Amino acid sequence: MTASLPQDLVDRLREIPAEAPLLVCSDFDGTLAPIVTRPEDARPLPGVADQLVRLAGTDHTCVAVVSGRSLADLAALSGFADPVTLVGSHGGEFTSGFVSEITPQQEELLRQLDDVLTRMIADAPGAELERKPLSIAVHVRQATRPDAERVLGAVQEGPALWPGVHPTAGKEVLELAVQQVDKGSAVEHLRRQCGDGATVVFIGDDVTDERAFQALRPEDVGVKVGDGETAAAYRVPAVSDVPPILTLLAALR
Ligand SMILES: [Mg+2]
């Protein structure tokens, strides 16, 4: 199973002490689930759910899936559940109890964003809004290229600049949050839950995963899936390379 993995990554994972706490975090879309045209069609690779449960059942090991999707969406599409911790909205929503409080001002800002974004995508067929508890994501994967560029440009120069709005760009998506959350702070929160000094293995493919890679410590392991600039020390070419990593980790615990 490990034959296809880069040897430097295999060697590095073998160095993680088996008796010390380990937190394995993975992104969902493009990492455990192949990217699809319609976001609602995303499903994990066959067998991945069982692999995550098996890994979470090994000694001193915590497993979390950290996604930009809403927690409800992530749970429904992935089918993942306890003992796998699910984190939605880039760290804004945790199954393990922690949910960021939204203030009345932030709620009002979210309503204003909804109004203006709804108008902005009205004449761009295929563009969609995804409403989450702390943010609204503008998806343009299914819009024509000129419409996609026009909508994203207008959002970037408009509501993305409003005070109190935190924009995050992803693949074919621009998300506007009313509270600063990112995968880096999510990883630190999960690390504290898992056990003091836990080593982290983080696997992800998108620009939003870079915040997590940047938050890693020297003893942690970041694995970028696919092309693109990254702060991760290791890289695998495709989603199909991720299950062998999970298998190897389970075997090493
Ligand atoms: Mg992803």
Residue 42: give its domain's CATH number. 3.40.50.1000
Q: Examine the domain organization and report whether 26 and 131 are in the same domain.
A: no
Angle between the N-to-C axes of helices 242-252 and 7-14, in degrees from 0 to 180, rounded to the nearest 10:
30
Whole-Å CA distances, 92 to 87, 89, 206 = 7, 5, 17
Q: Which of 130, 162, 177 is the last residue of a domain?
A: 177
Task: Tell me how many domains the chain contains.
Answer: 2
Q: Examine the domain organization and report whether 131 and 235 are in the same domain.
A: no
Q: Examine the domain organization and report whether 73 and 195 are in the same domain.
A: yes
> How far is the centre of ligand 1, averaged over its atoms, from the C-alpha of 9 (Å)?
20
Q: What is the pLDDT of residues 36-64, one digit of tens each?
A: 988 889 999 999 999 999 999 999 999 99
The pLDDT of residue 2? 53
Neighbours of ion ligand 1 (CB under 5 A): 27, 29-30, 205-206
CB contact set of 237 (below 8 Å; sequence gap of 6+) = 225, 226
Q: Examine the domain organization and report whether 167 and 123 are in the same domain.
A: yes
Q: Examine the domain organization and report whether 219 and 190 are in the same domain.
A: yes
Q: Examine the domain organization and report whether 86 and 207 are in the same domain.
A: yes
| Residues 59, 78: Cα–Cα separation, whole Å | 24
Q: Examine the domain organization and report whether 234 and 167 are in the same domain.
A: no
Clarify whether 206 is annotated catalytic. no
- Are 58 and 100 in contact by the 8 Å Cβ rule? The answer is no
Q: Examine the domain organization and report whether 60 and 72 are in the same domain.
A: yes
| Residues 98, 163: Cα–Cα separation, whole Å | 26
- Are 44 and 84 in contact by the 8 Å Cβ rule? The answer is no
- Find the domain containing 120 and state its range: 104-177
Among 147, 146, 145, 113, smallest CA distance to 130 is for: 113
Q: Examine the domain organization and report whether 185 and 116 are in the same domain.
A: no
Among 35, 68, 23, 70, smallest CA distance to 195 is for: 23
Among the options 27, 182, 205, 206, which is catalytic? 27
Q: What is the pLDDT of residues 64-107, one digit of tens each?
A: 999 999 999 999 999 999 999 999 988 888 876 545 678 899 99
Q: Examine the domain organization and report whether 160 and 110 are in the same domain.
A: yes
The pLDDT of residue 182? 87
> How far is the centre of ligand 1, averaged over its atoms, from the C-alpha of 31 (Å)?
6
Q: Which of 177, 211, 239 is the last residue of a domain?
A: 177
Q: Examine the domain organization and report whether 130 and 190 are in the same domain.
A: no
Q: Examine the domain organization and report whether 159 and 65 are in the same domain.
A: no
> How far is the centre of ligand 1, averaged over its atoms, from the C-alpha of 159 (Å)?
24
Q: Which of 145, 177, 209 is the last residue of a domain?
A: 177
CB contact set of 10 (below 8 Å; sequence gap of 6+) = 2, 248
Work out the percent of the chain whose per-residue pLDDT is above 90. Answer: 81
- Are 241 and 225 in contact by the 8 Å Cβ rule? The answer is yes
Residue 128: give its domain's CATH number. 3.30.70.1020
The pLDDT of residue 176? 95
